[in-house]
Amino acid sequence: MAQKLKDYYDEEFVRKLSNKIIAVNSSFDANKFISKYKDEYKDKEFLERQDLCVEALELSLNDNYSKNIQCFSKILGPELQTTTGMFSEGWWLWPIGRYVEKHGLEDFSVSINFIYDLTKRHTGEFSIRPLLKKHPKKVLSILLKWSLDENVHVRRLASEGIRIKLPWARRLDIFLEYFDECVAILNNLKNDKSNFVQKSVANNINDLMKVDRTKAVRLISAWKNNNPSKETLKIIKHGSRSLKKY
């Protein structure tokens, strides 16, 4: 039987994570962290285990968010060299991202810089959404720049972060409320050579199609009428799959 995703986050996982943290932060209460998690995790599902790990981190770290992020920055490890490693290699960083998702509004600058680094090892698509909801124009401006970044994971985040119906996340209507700004981001990505990025853009359009067909068709039509590249046509085809249901 294949191991479920939640089963990777067991007692051994928190012990290893604890060792990483205490190596860069001697004040980290490893015993409290491990004890909190191991006593409660077994009957919990995947996201519940992530939240429990965050609770354990909160009990074991100090109350200075910025200093805690500095600590996490030291344990991130090397950047991913492929597009397939965000979960196969960076999976252990999920609760770190969850911590930022919960506390990131405490310091915008610290959080956005950390998310930029995090997404090169795992993903920042969840942790950026509270910042995007609270400071939409500011974050959209940053994502526009990120859509041109040399790192494929950063470019993907520029798209994935604004998805309306991102799996494992609450619905976010930024694409509907700031349509032109979001289109500008996707315009920078519609010719991306990476399948990794193309899939995200297509899923983004498919999300839009499900909640506002008119806006989605307007975007697709504009692309079709502007000498589309093979990458753009591929994105349009995959992003239009919900049209079959109408």
> Is position 233 within any domain?
no
Name, in order, each residue with C-beta under 8 angstroms of 210's C-beta and a sequence gap of 6 or more: 164, 165, 242
Please give the share of the chain, as a percent, with pLDDT higher than 70: 98
pTM value? 0.95
CA-closest candidate to residue 197, choices 239, 235, 140, 230: 235
pLDDT value for 237: 93
Q: What confidence tier does 2 reach under pLDDT thresholds 50, 70, 90?
A: low
Max Cα–Cα distance, the chain, nearest Å: 61
For residue 85, pLDDT over 80 is answered with no
> Is position 67 within any domain?
yes
> Is position 122 within any domain?
yes
pLDDT value for 88: 83
> Is position 135 within any domain?
no
> Is position 211 within any domain?
no
Residue 76 in contact with residue 121, Cβ under 8 Å? yes
Residue 158 in contact with residue 131, Cβ under 8 Å? no
pLDDT digits (tens, 9 = 90+) for 192-239: 999 999 999 999 999 999 999 999 999 999 999 999 999 999 999 999
- Helix (H) or strand (E) holding 74, with range, is helix 65-74
pLDDT value for 47: 96
> How many folded domains does the chain comprise?
1
Q: What is the mean pLDDT of residues 30-43?
A: 96
Name, in order, each residue with C-beta under 8 angstroms of 185's C-beta and a sequence gap of 6 or more: 140, 143, 144, 147, 158, 159, 162
CA-closest candidate to residue 126, choices 95, 148, 147: 95
Q: Which residue has the higher pLDDT, 147 or 82?
A: 147
Token pair of 69 as six digits: 């992020």
**H helix and E strand count, the chain:** 15, 0
Q: Cα–Cα–Cα angle for 112, 18, 58, nearest 5°?
A: 55
Task: Report the alpha-carbon distance of residue 164 to residue 207 in Å, rounded.
Answer: 6
> Is position 183 within any domain?
no
For residue 39, pLDDT over 60 is answered with yes
The residue segments making up the domain with residue 57 are 1-127
Task: Report the alpha-carbon distance of residue 151 to residue 110 in Å, rounded.
Answer: 20
pLDDT digits (tens, 9 = 90+) for 143-184: 999 999 999 999 999 999 999 999 999 999 999 999 999 999
> Is position 53 within any domain?
yes
Token pair of 120 as six digits: 């090169």
Residue 153 in contact with residue 109, Cβ under 8 Å? no
> Is position 138 within any domain?
no
pLDDT value for 246: 40
pLDDT digits (tens, 9 = 90+) for 106-129: 999 999 999 999 999 999 999 999
Question: What angle, rounded to 10 degrees, do the helices at 136-146 and 108-118 form?
Answer: 30
Task: Report the alpha-carbon distance of residue 146 to residue 160 in Å, rounded.
Answer: 12
Q: What confidence tier does 98 reach under pLDDT thresholds 50, 70, 90?
A: very high
Residue 30 in contact with residue 60, Cβ under 8 Å? yes
